[in-house]
Chains A and B, each alone.
Chain A
Amino acid sequence: MDYNLIVPYIPNLRRYARALVGDRDGADDLVQDTLERAVRKFHLWRPGDLRAWLFSIMHNVFVNQLKARKISSEVDIDEASIAAPIPGATTLDVADVQRALARIAPEQREVLLLIALEDMTYADVSRALGIPIGTVMSRLSRGRERLRRVMDGEPATTPLRIVQ
């Protein structure tokens, strides 16, 4: 197998994992586990959408990690990983969005991030997460709504830790 096929997707996997998990180390561990699994399972990949396949592996690893509670659903904001201020956005904005993501249910967060960051179609997301397109759409709209409310300063009435 040619690992070089996978390497170009590493930056995208890391970006998604960072948004999904929150802290740098936890996210990179998720990427690492995903890559190792992809290499072990590469013989199962049939030429097609390699990106969707890699994200589906990451999804499975993520779900397993959630089950094992390796990753708490409450995301620690890794202050050091917050990027320098970017024109057009205040530092507060970018820190807030990470904190806000932590308050969205993981299954909604996955759909929202695949669409917002990866520009995936509903069909791509459906394949990557193994859920029907209708479910993709409903999770997306709930995820967007929730993010909007949290960003608008909705008080944290729900507990921060989302129990699976």
Chain B
Amino acid sequence: MTEDEDRVANADQNALLRRRFDPVLTEPIPARMYLQPPLWIDHARAAAWVVLGIAIGLMVPYLGLFSSQAPAVAVAAPLPVRAARAHLVYTPEVRHPVEVDAKEKDHLVKWLSKRLDRPLKVPALGNDGFELLGGRLLPGNDGPVAQFMYQDASGKRLTLYVTQRHKGDELTAFRFAREGGVQVFYWIDDDCGYALTGEIDKPTLNRIASSVYKQLER
């Protein structure tokens, strides 16, 4: 073959291969290929915080500063962040927004109370137009967490995230946070941390959160 003939033959071969395999380019990508960011980054980040905390803790006596304070060990994401993440994961679900439906409310409350090892109450938000959809159990930082989901007539959803109070958690009065496009009202009492999350306007969410607060503290 001459060089030119060679070149034409090679181009033909390339074209044939492309015709055969180019359709793969436009096939939908299987969902499993959208990977989560690797866990090791979270672990590495957490480990870095622990190392930093220990380093500060070791340095403190020598510095003579803050000697009354415990070493700083900051690892866990704060309550509103965890609640907002859980909200963002589960509220878009069409078929499986909750694990246990509100039809089995008694069972739901009994089950989650048992898992969180404390009697839980499910506030009624009917006055604000929200009905309970149901709830689910989630993994928390060091134990189970409960998530209750509510929905109004227009399909808007709220979640109430209830977690045990962790050792490091400070008591917190009513607070507000914005996280990943959602609004969170949260508070931590002696026993539990609560976060009410929704994509609704702040005054409305505030009113509903106050109602939740009153019902739970009663």
Residues on A lying within 8 angstroms of B by beta carbon are: 1, 3, 7, 10-12, 14-16, 18-19, 28, 31-32, 35-36, 39-40, 42, 83, 86, 88-89, 93-94, 97-98, 112-113, 115-117, 144, 147-148
Contact = CB atoms under 8 A, between A and B. Distances in A.
B103 interface: no
Contacts of A89: 16, 19-20
B203 to A, nearest CB: 36
Contacts of B26: 11
B10 interface: yes
Contact of A10 (B9, B20, B29, B40): B29
Contacts of A15: 21-22, 24-25
B17 A117 contact: yes
B23 interface: yes
Given A10-B33, A148-B13, A39 B25 contact: no
Task: Classify chain B's interface size.
Answer: 20 to 34
A32 B23 contact: no
B14 A116 contact: yes
A147 B13 contact: yes
Interface in B40-68: 40-41
B37 A3 contact: yes
A117 B14 CA distance: 7
B25 A35 contact: no
B24 A14 contact: yes
Given A94-B20, A98-B20, A12 B25 contact: yes
B27 interface: yes
**Which applies to chain A's interface (DSSP): helix, strand, loop or mixed?**
helix
25 contacts: A1-B37, A1-B38, A1-B41, A3-B34, A3-B35, A7-B34, A11-B25, A11-B26, A19-B17, A19-B20, A19-B21, A31-B33, A32-B32, A40-B40, A89-B19, A89-B20, A94-B19, A94-B20, A112-B17, A113-B17, A115-B14, A116-B13, A117-B17, A117-B21, A148-B13
Nearest to B9: A148
**Which applies to chain B's interface (DSSP): helix, strand, loop or mixed?**
helix
B147 to A, nearest CB: 26
Contacts of B22: 15
Contact of A28 (B13, B30, B37, B38): B30
**The 10 residue pairs across chains A and B that have the minimum distance between CB atoms:** A116-B14, A15-B24, A83-B23, A94-B20, A116-B17, A11-B25, A19-B21, A39-B38, A97-B20, A18-B24
Given A14-B29, A31-B33, A116-B13, A42 B38 contact: yes
Contacts of A117: 14, 17-18, 21
A22 B24 CA distance: 12
Nearest to B14: A116
Most buried by B among A1, A3, A15, A94: A15
Given A11-B26, A11-B29, A148-B9, A39 B14 contact: no
B116 to A, nearest CB: 33
A94 B37 CA distance: 38
A62 B40 CA distance: 24
A97 B16 contact: yes
A71 B38 CA distance: 27
Contact of B33 (A32, A93, A113): A32
Given A15-B25, A116-B13, A88 B33 contact: no
B185 to A, nearest CB: 31
